[in-house]
Amino acid sequence: MRGARKGGRRMPRKQAAMQLLVEKRRRRAAQDAGTGLSDAEALSLLTRVVEAQGAIMASGPGPSDVLAALTLHAQELTGAGGAVLEIRDGDAMVYWFASGMAEAQLGLRIPVAGSLSGLSMERGCLLRCDDSEQDARVDRDACRRVGLRSMVVVPLQFGDQPVGVLKVASREPHCFGPAETLALEHLATLAGASLHRAVEASRREAEVAAGAGNRADRDSGDEAARRRLTRLLRDGRLRVARQPIVRMTDGTVVGWEALARFPEEYGLPTDTWFRDAARCGRSVELELAALRAALADPLPAGDAYLSLNVSPEVACSDALDQVLGDVDPARIVLEITEHTAVEDYPRLAARLSALQARGFRIAVDDTGAGFSSLRHVLTLAPDIIKLDMSLVRGVDLRPRLQSLIAALCTFAEGTQATLVAEGVETDAESRTLRRIGVACGQGYFIGAPQLT
């Protein structure tokens, strides 16, 4: 990546970095002025949003669990009288999940045309109504039927597609200010990633259940997976690729993430190998083998760190200490990666704190989409926060994502953590993240994984 230029000449890296820092702080001040929130208030608000998102993800594995919890926490977070998730069905918006004063209206259909919800979906942005009796954008009759006077509506996206809106409402006018509006916007943005993760989990469960219907096929598949894993571990055919992590201001490589690579002749993606290992009760064994392979090669040149993916189960095991051996802890980042919810949270927190005391750095992976990744950010005091790629994809075209990431930048600075954006795939995404103030980036646009 090229440094900033001034007067046709390249500026020194330090000067360019300082200029970007000054510009970032100027933009932050403008954002704070726009919301009327101080830095402390903005940080407190984001903390509450993070706590709410963690509770939503912990509510259950299925999409229905996530959506039911979403409306409840949206209501509590904004101090609303009720909250509702409206899904578009043809030319109508349908009350699909609801809490509080809106719960009695489940199944209600209101026209897309002439409603604030429909307008929010059409424009793809948050809209606020301070008084339904005075606002020409709303369906006044519908508002009277459900008994609301003020509301905030924000589109809810699944992947790249808007599927409905999240709305909070009150029987009183002028109930919602900038803080409540921003809180709902951040929560809805995070909810899209959470919903995608929940739908994927449900899809995998359905596939497993369908396979379980034929016991012979299931047993045959499990036996084949066991044989593959046994051959892999016996023959030591697990390979490692490293993907660069760079400083966004000047492109300097600050670290490399170690990624497991499996024999190509099987034609199976990495996730399948780890899912098969979990089903066969060998996930810890496979993960430890991947860690040994990652550490078998020399550490990266210079001061760059090596980031190792570690599940909570392995992080808490004595076997991790044996694998790490006498490696220099200052050169290692342990990246906590979740595939299932953490069962013993206090034990994990204590274990990671002890590893940090020894000099290892801790990173939280999949922030914004994992089972409880945002809870990790609050309670584990990580050194590095890695933004899930679902919050990075298309960020140059999604102002709401930019607002959330800017808030997470402030949060990271306040906790002295480094924010890393994963899945950076385009120049436009890279430039946008750099403008917002994200410290580091990783992805195919920056650099593809390289086999060691």
Give DSSP secondary structure letters for 32-46: HHHHT--HHHHHHHH
Q: Which amino acid is at 84?
A: V
pTM score of the predicted model: 0.80
Using DSSP's 3-state secondary structure scheme, residue 340 falls into: coil
358, 293, 306: which is closest to 334 by C-alpha? 306
Dig out the tokens for 140 from the structure.
């006044």
pLDDT means over runs of 10, the chain (452 residues): 39 51 47 64 86 80 80 97 94 94 93 93 94 95 92 85 90 96 92 64 56 53 89 93 98 98 93 92 95 96 96 95 96 88 85 97 83 72 92 92 90 91 98 98 97 92
Check residue 41 and give its pLDDT. Answer: 84
**Number of Cα atoms under 13 Å in the Cβ half of residue 218:** 11
Distance CA 368, CA 125 (A): 20
User: Is the distance from CB of 309 to CB of 258 less than 8 angstroms?
Assistant: yes
**Is residue 31 within 8 Å of residue 44, measured between CB atoms?**
no
- In the prediction, which pLDDT does 283 show? 93
Q: What is the pLDDT of residue 414?
A: 83
Query: DSSP of 344-367, one letter per residue?
Result: -HHHHHHHHHHHHHTT-EEEEEEE
Which residues on neighbouring strands pair with residue 100, listed in sequence order?
Answer: 82
Q: What is the pLDDT of residue 197?
A: 60
Angle between helices 270-279 and 283-296 (to 10 degrees): 140
The pLDDT of residue 170: 98
> Rounded to whole angstroms, what are the CA distances from 274 to 172, 226, 317?
52, 12, 18
Query: Which pLDDT belongs to residue 337?
Result: 87
- What is the per-residue pLDDT for 209? 56
